[in-house]
Chains A and B, each alone.
Chain A
Amino acid sequence: MTTPLTPPPRKDPLKRTVSPTQPPVIRSRAALGLTAMAAEGRFALQTCAECGAVQYPPRDACSACLSTDLPWWDIAPTGQLLAETTVQTSVKQYFRERTPWRVGSVQLDAGPVVICHLHGDVAANARVRLRLLLDRAGQGVILALPQERTDHMADDPELRLMSSDPHLRRVLITDARHPFAPDLAAALQTAGATLIFAGEPENWLPNPNRSALEAAGAEILPLDVTDTKSVERMAGEIGGKTDILINTARFMRPGGVLARGGTGFARDEMEVNYLGLMRLAQAFGPAMCGRTADGVNSAVAWVNILSVHARTNTPGFGCFNASQAAAFSLSQSLRAEFRGAGLRVMNVFTGPLEEDWYQPLPPPKVTGPALARSVVSGLRDGLEDVWCGDVAKDFEERFCKNPKVLEIELGQEMGE
């Protein structure tokens, strides 16, 4: 049975913070497919397009028929534990600091045998459920879990290291004025976050979210992402205890290029949505990267809430979407820059939200509780890319099929 985590004692400021180390990061190109699948929470392996043989470890030719056509297909995440060991000593510093480390050999029902991380609650010779997760090197790895849920199973030390679970962590929501900030705070409180900070721009003006945020236990602090000094002041105050940062700061107005009379709103959009993200990352990033091995409440994730149209634009919100594309592009750079420290960047792509600015668009739209659920489950699953709502999921499917066709279709829909 998993020992439940307990809140860590107050940090001794005289004690050195453990420097982050990484599990092995180098992979072959084929094996990066595991990472791509894990980033979206899929359990997929290479499957021979000609003979159907499922392959593992990832490779360049089918070991049953030598075909080189090996697409990644979702397969049944179930199998049988054949053998196990507990590694007590390792020459790799990351594992040396974390032994004992349980490892198993599992035969998948789909065929191949995988050496995988083994959850502490899996019994000898048990049937297991498998997940493909990102480890602290940001690489896809396989973890075997008990078939049935067990008590406190998320607190298992191996699973905890592969997730960004908000339980017993401290979270900053950067914009308390975002219409869904109260729903996010409530969901995080329910998920066991120990502290929730909410940054409030122009905090001399009334904020209709205030009472709901306070009801969810959030502490409201002044933060304006367009003001470098304000961001730095806030980072100086709480940067050392921010384990998860959720960037909800957003400026949006409707309209494509021709619908706008000038560049004024576009400038505001870039100032908040793009440069704001950059200011936050420059102020909070280094401190968070330095605290990724800091025990139960280590820094673990950076979350961006982005419009799905960051990936392919539409004229309805064309200029706003361009700022989202800039923020998305920046997030890819950040992800690579944070990877060495094991700080995960999670992008939550949403369709239109159920709020005033998107009022003219038809349903389905994303509600506050739905966004909050996506954020919390994405953190628990340790994902990098989350597609929130039916519109975003539909978008992703079409994007994967043919991004150019999607661009044309979206342009036509909006043109009507």
Chain B
Amino acid sequence: MKRQSYDGVVLAAPVTIPYTRYSTETAHYWIARALRETLRAAGLKPTELDGFSVASFTLFPDTPVGLTQHLGLSPRWLDTIPMGGASGLAALRRAARAVQAGDVDIVACVAGDTNHIDSFRKLLSSFSRFAMDAGYPYGYGGPNANFALLTDRYMQEYGATREDFGRICVAQRANALKNPHAVMKKPLSLQQYMDARPISDPIALFDCVMPVAGSEAYLVMREDEAIKRNLPFAHILGTIERHNAHIEDPIQLRGGWTVDIDELWEMAGCGPDDIDLLQTYDDYPVISAMQIEDMGFCAKGEAAAFIRSHDLTVEGDFPHNTSGGQLSAGQAGAAGGFIGLVEAIRQVTHTGGPTQVPDARRAAISGFGMINYDRGLCSAAAIIEGAQS
């Protein structure tokens, strides 16, 4: 059956609360701040909000239900998205359909996590049953070790080199230097990337994100609401989502996007050549390379060549992770699944400020989440387009 379009539903009021390396505050605090800013942009009081979607790893012992009382909300539609790096796009898909069906008028999609001095270690030790049983006992390298294995195999299979991954990181650092809120403030050269401290071979320091505290938010609403509230907004041209794809692959060299990619571009009514910027989920550069391939920007195994022949910075011919991405702006827990989407909404509504790509109109965003055992299980993507003013 042909999927229904998202006509009449829009994205607005993108908010990023500047990240900090560590925070003594709670996830509640970070979520409250992002929610407040996005509601303020739309001129909404908390009690007027009728839809609320939350992604967070550090809310325990609370759930989004507890958050409604904590934050004084009275929504008629409530969602929780436990999908890590795919949470921003999964939140969008659910909220957009609920708005379209009239179950809710405005949904605030919020992701936020804190980062106490010891919380990364605690988060690691409670991530999933398969990781606990069959991952951590083997060197306890966490995601670094998992992605090191994938990177090793990817390099063997496709001849990519560390320099190729380094180019992704170096370009993102250049973008981050334009973003006043990025956690990383110093330039990064390819040589520095190559010389970095090894973490889990072939992964070295600059292949890894820095866990931080922070939050991100945006609103989903009908187009007439956005116009009434005088908000710049973006249309949703197409979306896809897939979990545990390619069960038969012994090691992950492609993600779930490959299953649904034709549907994405068909629904969006455009192709990779029509895209002005790409936001990938960049927990490790190999995953961004995989998304460049699986989203159709180049053939499988050719990301390295693609990266060598393109400029991935804001001024370049292939702007990618324009705010610096997680690799340079930091990974704020579940907000890492929102960073690309929120930045893309800013870009296509021309509110990107210092990282704005000139004349950006269409953005592709891909998300990737949840290493359950040996691979990331969730994948999602969306194409969005800024409204013509």
How many angstroms from the CA of A27 to the CA of B374 in the assembled complex?
17
Residues on the B chain within 8 Å of A120, using CB: none
CB-contact partner of A27 in B132, B141, B145, under 8 A: B132
**Chain A residues touching B, range:** 35 or more
If A83-B153, A85-B152 touch, does A113 touch B138 (CB 8 Å cutoff)? Answer: no
**Chain B residues touching A, range:** 35 or more
Minimum CB distance partner of A115 in chain B: B138
The proximity string for A residues 26-41 relative to B, scoring 1 for CB distances below 8 Å and 0 otherwise, is 1110110010000000
Contact B132 A90 (CB under 8 A): no
Residues on the A chain within 8 Å of B144, using CB: 87, 89
Residues on the A chain within 8 Å of B199, using CB: 88-89
CB of B250 within 8 Å of the partner chain: yes
Contact A91 B124 (CB under 8 A): yes
CB of B373 within 8 Å of the partner chain: yes
Residues on the A chain within 8 Å of B152, using CB: 83-85
Contact A57 B130 (CB under 8 A): yes
CB-contact partner of B200 in A27, A58, A86, A104, under 8 A: A86
The proximity string for A residues 95-108 relative to B, scoring 1 for CB distances below 8 Å and 0 otherwise, is 10001010111010
Residues on the B chain within 8 Å of A23, using CB: 137, 140
Contact B200 A87 (CB under 8 A): yes
Minimum CB distance partner of B131 in chain A: A57
Residues on the B chain within 8 Å of A91, using CB: 120-121, 124, 140, 142
Residues on the B chain within 8 Å of A105, using CB: 149, 153, 250-251, 374
How many angstroms from the CA of A363 to the CA of B133 in the assembled complex?
44
CB of A49 within 8 Å of the partner chain: no
Contact A85 B132 (CB under 8 A): no
CB of B191 within 8 Å of the partner chain: no
CB of B201 within 8 Å of the partner chain: yes
Q: Smallest distance from the beta carbon of A160 to chain B beta carbons, Å?
A: 16
If A89-B199, A113-B250 touch, does A83 touch B150 (CB 8 Å cutoff)? Answer: yes
Residues on the B chain within 8 Å of A330, using CB: none
Residues on the A chain within 8 Å of B91, using CB: none
CB-contact partner of B139 in A34, A83, A103, under 8 A: A103
Residues on the A chain within 8 Å of B200, using CB: 85-89
The proximity string for A residues 276-305 relative to B, scoring 1 for CB distances below 8 Å and 0 otherwise, is 000000000000000000000000000000
Residues on the A chain within 8 Å of B69, using CB: none
Contact B134 A31 (CB under 8 A): yes
Chain A 98-131 residues near chain B, CB threshold 8 A: 99, 101, 103-105, 107, 113-117, 125
How many angstroms from the CA of A139 to the CA of B202 in the assembled complex?
28
CB-contact partner of A103 in B132, B145, B250, B373, under 8 A: B145
Q: Smallest distance from the beta carbon of B198 to chain A beta carbons, Å?
A: 5
Contact B141 A85 (CB under 8 A): yes
Residues on the A chain within 8 Å of B22, using CB: none
If A57-B130, A82-B153, A89-B199 touch, does A115 touch B374 (CB 8 Å cutoff)? Answer: yes
Q: Smallest distance from the beta carbon of A305 to chain B beta carbons, Å?
A: 31
CB of A251 within 8 Å of the partner chain: no
Residues on the A chain within 8 Å of B140, using CB: 23-24, 87, 90-92, 94-95
How many angstroms from the CA of A84 to the CA of B153 in the assembled complex?
8
How many angstroms from the CA of A116 to the CA of B145 in the assembled complex?
11
Residues on the B chain within 8 Å of A63, using CB: 247
CB of A43 within 8 Å of the partner chain: no
Q: Smallest distance from the beta carbon of B218 to chain A beta carbons, Å?
A: 33
If A89-B199, A91-B124 touch, does A101 touch B139 (CB 8 Å cutoff)? Answer: yes
Residues on the B chain within 8 Å of A135, using CB: 137
Contact B201 A86 (CB under 8 A): yes
Contact A141 B138 (CB under 8 A): yes
**Of residues A34, A91, A107, A125, which shows the largest number of chain B Cβ atoms within 10 Å of its Cβ?**
A91
CB of B135 within 8 Å of the partner chain: yes
How many angstroms from the CA of A99 to the CA of B121 in the assembled complex?
18
Residues on the A chain within 8 Å of B149, using CB: 82-85, 103-105, 115
CB of A265 within 8 Å of the partner chain: no
CB of A56 within 8 Å of the partner chain: yes
Residues on the B chain within 8 Å of A87, using CB: 139-141, 144-145, 148, 200
If A82-B251, A88-B199, A89-B199 touch, does A24 touch B374 (CB 8 Å cutoff)? Answer: no
Residues on the A chain within 8 Å of B141, using CB: 85, 87, 89-90, 95, 101, 103
If A84-B149, A113-B251, A115-B138 touch, does A58 touch B156 (CB 8 Å cutoff)? Answer: no
Residues on the A chain within 8 Å of B145, using CB: 85, 87, 103, 115
Residues on the B chain within 8 Å of A114, using CB: 134
Residues on the B chain within 8 Å of A58, using CB: 133-134
The proximity string for A residues 304-342 relative to B, scoring 1 for CB distances below 8 Å and 0 otherwise, is 000000000000000000000000000000000000000
Residues on the A chain within 8 Å of B121, using CB: 91
How many angstroms from the CA of A337 to the CA of B150 in the assembled complex?
39
A-B interface, 3 closest residue pairs, ranked by CB to CB distance from nearest: A85-B148, A92-B140, A57-B134
User: 12 A-B contacts, Cβ less than 8 Å apart?
Assistant: A24-B136, A28-B133, A57-B133, A58-B133, A82-B250, A84-B149, A87-B144, A88-B199, A89-B141, A104-B149, A115-B134, A139-B137
Q: Which residues on B are within 8 Å of A, measured CB to CB?
A: 120-121, 124-125, 129-130, 132-142, 144-146, 148-150, 152-153, 156, 197-203, 247, 250-251, 373-374
